[in-house]
Structure 1
């Protein structure tokens, strides 16, 4: 049984969301090792008492619960399955929790390799962006063995408020694809609504006061539309990472012989923004396509 006293957490990836998530675990009293490619991104956590590891291999040698939230599936594969990665160098009984939005296929592969080494693996991507990470109210969607999910649920509860076991390995990633598909089309609607209000001569902030509480309400409308209006395009979630997610969803939909016209349109618009140099902007920068 995992307790704070017998648990050492290794955290890989201290970016926009990871830094807050790791910080909550420290505040809850867990011993924490951190690794990220750019050490400067971990300085705040190190100043608060986190211990630095020079590689995923070193994380694996210290921690018995390892959490990752990085950029791309290729990063996930290298971290977990590379020769200097976690699975070949970790300890039997370690719990591996990848919270990156990655591919269901890779989640299953990591699960199988981890099991061969006597480890437990969960794919547990999140939704809620920088706000959800900062306020510890992320939605966490988990795939893997339910027994393993229950074992680490207390850790999830420190980072999120909506924590749901979705099914076997890969199920968390499939759920995240459903999430991203819903957001993709919704973001088009949010941008068009704000631009329409402005062109009609309305005060968009006043319009938001009404439509956010009605049938049109959504996270994007409540949290990202105000940023659009203020011209704040700093990333809560990067466009370049959203494009990656939409690409995964399109591949999975094609594999299931499913048409996704809304998703395809959204990705084409975001691709244009990325080509115009907006890849490191927040997803709310889709507003710039019209404005």
Structure 2
């Protein structure tokens, strides 16, 4: 990677963030990382990554701050207000928020960042654990193109495509559409498999065949393997899919747009979450429906 050496901070080292930050570390960048809760930093091996003891110390010298946090409330807690990260960042630094949040929150984050003379981009990603491990994420960006150009080399390290969707909030908007379709597609696929079983068709045949049909979303191939082996190790936590559906319904309300199917889907994921499947992969929605048959 050839670019002007900048100081980078990465905030949030969960399933996605730890893998994303590890790719930056492998490129010998000037990287500082921070996680709110104690974390195993084995992803970074023997690299010269600095592990900060507070978010303020993580961001204070950074030219670019990436964040990958779980919910809008967590982003607000970490970044907003006099005790937040924005108050400790350098003037004219860039904050690129990779968290999945609702578009109106991204606009609010931009407004908050502007108070501190911080440049902001919403940069959520399309992809889950495996694409993050393989640097195959797609970044969905909202904000100024010139600011995007400055961080693009680092996005290219963590992913293999960058889509500039539009102005502030548009990256978050597009991510919302992607996850809304992902959740519903997983539900439709699960219902089809379960009905097929009830009609006497082999479960293995269904799981081997339906994902290869033109009517099926490509991601169902990997989810079929999970269902077949009854292995719901987390790639995309079901509880965060439920959260994303909730954010979609909030956004629909803000725009006076009915979401009949997404609201129903949200309640089904809520049921699975309530039944202790929140930390399973989102494909565990099949397991939840199976219990109801």
Q: Same fold (TM over 0.5)?
A: yes
Q: Match for residue 276 of structure 1?
A: 275
CA-to-aligned-CA distance 1:206-237 (integer Å, 9 cap, x gap)? 44444333322324312222112211112111
What is the number of equivalent residue pairs in this alignment?
Answer: 290
Question: In the alignment, is the contact (CA less than 8 A) between 1:129 and 1:236 conserved in 2?
Answer: yes
Structure 2: 5+ residue stretches without partners: none
Say whether residues 1:99 and 2:81 are aligned partners: no
What are the within-5 Å matches in structure 2 for residues 25-174 of structure 1? 25-45=24-44, 47-174=46-173
**Superimposed CA distance per residue, residues 110-137 of structure 1 (whole angstroms, 9 cap, x where no aligned partner):** 2123233332111111121111111111
Paired with 2:103 and 2:261, the residues of 1 have a C-alpha distance of 21
Deviation at 1:4, TM superposition (A): 4.7
User: What corresponds to 1:9 in structure 2?
Assistant: 8
Is this contact kept in 2: 1:77–1:106, CA < 8 A? no
> What is the CA–CA distance in structure 2 between the aligned matches of 1:203 and 1:133, rounded to whole Å?
34
Q: What is the CA–CA distance in structure 1 between the aligned matches of 2:92 and 2:274, rounded to whole Å?
A: 45
Q: Is the 8 A contact 1:34 1:59 kept in 2?
A: yes
1:72-111 per-position Cα deviation (integer Å, ceiling 9, x unaligned): 1111012221322221111012111110001222211221
Pair 28,202 (structure 1): closer, same or farther in 2 beyond 3 Å: farther
CA gap of 1:5–1:205, structure 2 versus 1, over 3 A, is farther
Matching residue of 1:222: 221
Asked if the contact 1:56/1:86 (under 8 Å) is kept, the reply is: yes
Instruction: Check if 1:234 corresponds to 2:251.
Output: no
Is residue 187 from structure 1 mapped to residue 173 from structure 2 by the alignment? no
Once residues 111 and 72 of structure 2 are traced to their aligned partners in structure 1, the CA distance between those partners, rounded to angstroms, is 16
TM-score, normalisation: structure 2: 0.92
The 5 Å alignment of 1:231-270 reads 231-270=230-269
- Superposed CA RMSD: 2.0
Shift of 1:252: 0.7
The separation in 1 between residues aligned to 2:5 and 2:138, in whole angstroms, is 26
CA–CA distance in 2 between the matches of 1:175 and 1:185? 16
* Counterpart in the other structure of 1:23: 22
SS at match of 1:96: strand
Comparing 113-122 with 94-103, greater Cα deviation is found at 113-122
Mapped contact 1:126–1:139 kept (Cα < 8 A): yes
